[in-house]
């Protein structure tokens, strides 16, 4: 192996790799005139997955006293592939991460310059035990192409790359969308029919139980419906609009939880915001459906009953869309997994109860 003008360089290759073909098992060692000894950089690690599915790119790290020319020569012999991080990292005592530098900084620097004088010591690093959502949020807020990931002792584990993060976020978004609909996360066209049917029928059975709960509420008002059958025509409207509003709120909240934008610290503020939206939408839709009900059936009281029930159900849908996923998260249950069933149950049961209770009151007062 050729010598550099600033000292001898030796690349030590493990049995699983050869220089220029793979980074797995590869270690880099330097001999500098000042040190007079071999100084080994932290092992270069292959891409790895953490428990949350994020991909850590191989992190190229060098000791603080290595020179710019030594690092450049080493990179030329290693020929790192595109899976490597966009940045080079610098380590100190015990292999702990102390800084980072870009390839541009390395190329324009004096050949004798040590990497510790070129690096940026103000470094944002990600603990490897940090949840994937938090790691993604920190990387996104940093505006950088990659961030180093360290273990509990501050030693380099890998690097979280923006491109890999995008793939992980896309996969997570797909899983959340499937879970909201009660579909298995691995669902695809080629999946066996028996497995797809088995996974879907479980949540359909759960939903059937909640449907019977809503039916029991309607059944308790059967005498009111018998005397004012016109109420039956508007029941699906009240429950359906409540379910749609709850799904809108739920989708926003689950996404905010996944991105780390919603935490228990700011939950009250988000709840009040969603209640305000529910009141605005409830007034708008309530007035519209009340007016249409009055014009359609020619009964003013019916319009009032439908409009007020709609207002109440849309407000409740906003509350349920926030409280249900937060409660599931507090219980360490994935909010995307079961929230939709509970929110739909709340809007159906309470929507029917509000509407038929107001209908019974109007009937007793002689307006229907």
| Sequence-ordered strand ranges (E) for the chain | 9-13, 26-31, 38-40, 48-49, 55-57, 60-63, 87-91, 97-102, 126-127, 146-150, 156-161
The Cβ of residue 195 has, within 10 Å, a number of other Cβ atoms equal to 12
The Cβ of residue 314 has, within 10 Å, a number of other Cβ atoms equal to 28
pLDDT tens readout for residues 180-202: 666 666 667 777 888 878 777 88
Query: Quick check: helix, strand or coil at residue 261?
Result: coil
Joined tokens for residue 121: 């010591």
Residues of the chain with CATH 3.10.580.10: 9-170
CATH class of 9-170: alpha beta
pLDDT at 101 over 70: yes
pLDDT top residue among 104 and 2 = 104
- The fold for domain 192-364 equals Tetracycline Repressor; domain 2 (1.10.357)
Backbone angles phi, psi at 84, to 5 degrees: -70, 155
Q: For 54-79, what is the mean pLDDT? A: 80
pLDDT at 21 over 60: no
Burial class (CB in 10 A: 0-12, 13-18, 19+), 184: middle
Is this model's pTM higher than 0.75 or not?
A: no
Burial class (CB in 10 A: 0-12, 13-18, 19+), 224: buried
pLDDT top residue among 157 and 346 = 346
Residues of the chain with CATH 1.10.357.20: 192-364
Residue 45's nearest CA partner among 29, 63, 60 is 60
Contacts of 34 (CB under 8 A, 6+ apart): 65
The Cβ of residue 200 has, within 10 Å, a number of other Cβ atoms equal to 15
């Amino acid at each position: 192996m050729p010598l550099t003008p600033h000292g001898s360089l030796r690349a030590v290759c493990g049995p699983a790799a050869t220089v220029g073909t793979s980074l797995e098992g590869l270690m880099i060692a330097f001999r500098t005139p000042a040190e007079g000894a071999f100084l080994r950089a932290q092992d270069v690690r292959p891409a790895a997955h953490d428990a949350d599915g994020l991909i850590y790119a191989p992190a190229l790290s060098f000791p603080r006293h290595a020179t710019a020319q030594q690092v450049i020569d080493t990179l030329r012999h290693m020929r790192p592939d595109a899976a490597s991080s966009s940045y080079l990292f610098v380590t100190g005592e015990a292999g702990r991460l102390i800084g980072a530098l870009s390839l541009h900084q390395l190329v324009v620097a004096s050949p004798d310059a040590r990497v510790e004088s070129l690096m940026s010591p103000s470094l944002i690093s990600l603990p490897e035990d940090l949840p994937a959502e938090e790691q993604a949020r920190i990387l996104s807020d940093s505006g950088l192409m990659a961030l180093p990931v360290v273990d509990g002792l501050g030693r380099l584990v890998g690097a979280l790359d923006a491109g890999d993060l995008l793939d992980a976020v896309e996969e997570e978004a797909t899983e959340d969308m499937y879970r909201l609909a009660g579909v298995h996360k691995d669902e695809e066209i080629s999946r066996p029919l028996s497995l797809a049917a088995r996974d879907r029928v479980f949540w359909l059975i759960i939903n059937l139980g909640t449907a019977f709960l809503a039916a029991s509420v309607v059944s308790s008002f059967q005498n009111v419906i018998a005397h004012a059958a016109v109420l039956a025509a508007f029941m699906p409207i009240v429950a359906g609009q409540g379910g749609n509003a709850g799904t809108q709120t739920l989708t926003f909240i689950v996404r905010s939880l996944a991105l780390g934008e919603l935490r228990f610290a700011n939950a009250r503020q988000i709840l009040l915001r969603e209640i305000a939206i529910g009141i605005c939408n409830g007034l708008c839709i309530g007035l519209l459906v009340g007016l249409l009900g009055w014009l359609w059936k020619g009964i003013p009281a019916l319009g009032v009953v439908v409009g007020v029930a709609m207002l109440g159900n849309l407000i409740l849908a906003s509350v349920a869309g926030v409280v249900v996923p937060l409660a599931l998260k507090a219980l360490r249950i994935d909010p995307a997994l079961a929230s939709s069933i509970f929110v739909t149950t709340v809007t159906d049961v309470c929507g029917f109860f509000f509407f038929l209770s107001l209908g019974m009151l109007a009937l007793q007062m002689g307006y229907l």
